Amino acid sequence: MSFNKVTMAQVVLKQYRYKLTSYHQVFTSLAVLQLLALFFSSGGVMTSSAGSYGVDAYLNTYSGDLVIIFTFLWGFINAITMTTKAYREDDFLFVTNRQSQHLSNMLFLVTASVIGGLTATLAGYLLRVILFWTSDQGTFAGMVGESATLIELLLSIVAVALYVLMFCALGYLIGNVVQLHRLFIVIIPVLAVGGLLLNGWMGNGSPITLKVYAFFVGETNMLLFLLKTLMTAVLLFAGSFALLRQKEVRT
């Protein structure tokens, strides 16, 4: 009999380190998606023109928002993937239980969210650099004049990382709900598509959609924004834990 007493924190830390080294394909897919988004963004997200007295002016709007959207999608999909059988069985390499499994998954998703938020924000500045060297500098002058302080850059990284974390938490919850019954594989997409159709039929958006958007995106107070996003992520993760904590696992 071994006299070494292994604590929960040690087990969680070992699983977390294992996932950081083994799930490298998660970050590879992040890089691929962000490069793809940069490619699409290089053509501009909006074009407008105006003319008067024989003079025509064209305005191309460039934005790194598509990179951020792709990063949200990446976090959501990878969180769902972590709940699949193949990923769950990786934890059987350790003496584990449901609690340590969830905690290590959550730590990994938090780390992935920080990395995703950092790279997505910096990708916007990379897009500017690419356009500066590949476009006519006269047409690009308006964008070059924009700058951000270090504090603004850090706040942007934190904000994007928290959004990614919410999408990860939502995907993780949905993935765990599906584990309860395979019928949810059909029910959840139907509800999602139905919600999108309802939103389209209501013109400018349903009241619920507008309220959700205003609650998260429309918040101007940084402290309240931190509280809203963190509490939402915590509640979603807590819901995942509550759903499956009674489920048996191999040891």
Element (H, E) at 33: helix 24-41
Is the model's pTM score more than 0.85? no
Non-local (6+) Cβ contacts of 34 within 8 A are 67, 70, 71, 119, 120, 123
Number of Cβ atoms within 10 Å of the Cβ of 61: 10
C-alpha 127/C-alpha 129 separation (Å) is: 5
C-alpha 188/C-alpha 139 separation (Å) is: 46
Place of tokens 């691929």: 32
Residue 191 tokens read as: 């509800």
Domain range list for the chain? 8-180+219-244
In tens digits, what is the pLDDT along the chain, a chain of 251 residues? Answer: 455 666 777 878 888 888 888 888 899 999 999 999 888 877 665 555 555 655 655 566 666 788 899 999 999 999 998 888 777 666 655 556 677 788 888 999 999 999 999 999 998 888 877 777 776 655 554 444 456 678 888 988 999 999 999 999 999 999 888 877 777 777 777 776 666 666 655 555 556 667 777 777 777 788 888 999 999 999 999 988 888 765 554 44
Q: Are 233 and 166 in contact (CB under 8 A)?
A: yes
Non-local (6+) Cβ contacts of 212 within 8 A are none
Identify which of 95, 42, 96, 94 has the alpha carbon closest to the alpha carbon of residue 64: 42
